[in-house]
Amino acid sequence: MRKFKVLLAIILTGVIFTSCQKDGAKLFDVSVKISYPAGYTATDLSNIKVTLMNNITSREDSARTDASGVAHLLLELGTYTVSASIQTVEFAFNGNSENLSINATNLSLEVSLVAVALKGGLVFKEIYYSGSRTPALAGYYSDQFHEIYNNSDQIIYLDGLCIGTLEPLGTTASVWIKTDGSPRDSLPITFHTWIWPGTGTTYPLAPRTSIVLAQDGINHTSDPAGNPSSPVNLAGAQWETYVSTSGKDTDSPGVPNLICIYTTTTAMFDWLSGVGGAGIVLFRLPTGIDYQTFVNNPANFKKKPGSAAATQYLMVDKSWVIDGVEEVGADPAKQFKRLPTTIDAGKVSCSSSYNSKSIRRKVDKIINGKVVYKDTNNSTDDFLGDLTPTPFVNPTRVDKK
């Protein structure tokens, strides 16, 4: 999906009412008024979903606005992450603000919204990044996979599609930020950056079908090199990330490999998508530029801000991103944003690492037996977490919104 940002004004007001008590804690009536972006005409401001998550307890409370654009929530005092979203036929409007304080003298919370054009395209259908435990309780991550789905009604060619994870992985705050604290427009890819081979029309993906990209394309439950406690059989994976340069990775027979176009480290012999979460992106390089030319241009690399390390990171402009998902850890205090709001206004997580669970995009509708997945560029609303992995399988019913 191609994305763009729309300049907007948001008006949020808070009115303080100590309304009741629950479990001994005072609850306050927080009112939030939201306006559409400048230049977007709307006579009805109702049904905009507003969600507040308590950063200490992880409790989430949601409400929808009335016709005047006001939502009311009863909340304890504390620090919250606030998000708002609504979808029209053409646009998704999303916003996310973190670490906002609600106290007795301040119930006015602000959130910045962006508008994203909805055109369909490639999306992450399911991501299994958490890994599993072996019978000896050791951590095992070689069974990670990413399932990519053609959510449109047209053939899309995988040729030249790229995938990578953003620096930093896990629960570390990003230093790749603007002065206002938001992520930069140029995104740093860490570890391996991969590209699908092909000449442009070699690898078609039919409408409403998917491919599974495995770290290791084997049956992890039965292969001697696998893990009998793994929840997945990836022997049928269509693609694999094989790190040939390490001399330590195993090339699964019969599973074609992506091409590694750059890596920030030669020490890793597998492509590890962080078991604690990562900012993951699908993207394409600018039209007319082959990957060899791109990675041989020093202008496309940058060192980490404030670091003395010599490591150079491949930089990807956010306008090149087709889909991105903000995977975060379970601890609300360490759920840092790496992706700009135009790519993902929310975030999604599994409750722990090595818990054999995945995240999956919600089913929005089913048309003639074909699934259309929800895609508003807000993972908080678009994804479900802590699910049993289901590679190659699409649900048969619509998910609760």
Summary count for the chain: helices (H), strands (E): 2, 28
Is residue 124 a contact partner of residue 325, using CB atoms and an 8 Å limit? Answer: yes
Q: Given the structure tokens 């030249």, which residue do they identify? A: 160
End-to-end CA distance of the chain: 21
Say how far apart CA 360 and CA 350 lie, in whole Å. 11
What residue ranges of the chain are covered by domains with CATH 2.60.40.10? 18-117
Pick the CATH number of 18-117 from 3.40.50.150, 1.50.10.20, 2.60.40.10, 2.170.150.70: 2.60.40.10
Instruction: Specify the pLDDT at position 13.
Output: 39
User: pLDDT tens, 286-321?
Assistant: 989 999 999 999 999 999 999 999 999 999 999 999
Residue 246, SS3 per DSSP: helix
Q: What's this model's pTM, rounded to 2 decimal places?
A: 0.78
Say which range, 15-29, 95-109, 227-241, has the weakest mean pLDDT.
Answer: 15-29
Residue 229, SS3 per DSSP: coil
User: pLDDT tens, 197-251?
Assistant: 999 999 999 999 999 999 999 999 999 999 999 999 999 999 999 998 877 888 9
Q: What is the mean pLDDT of the chain?
A: 88
Assign 95 a pLDDT band (cuts: 50, 70, 90): confident
Say how far apart CA 47 and CA 152 lie, in whole Å. 26
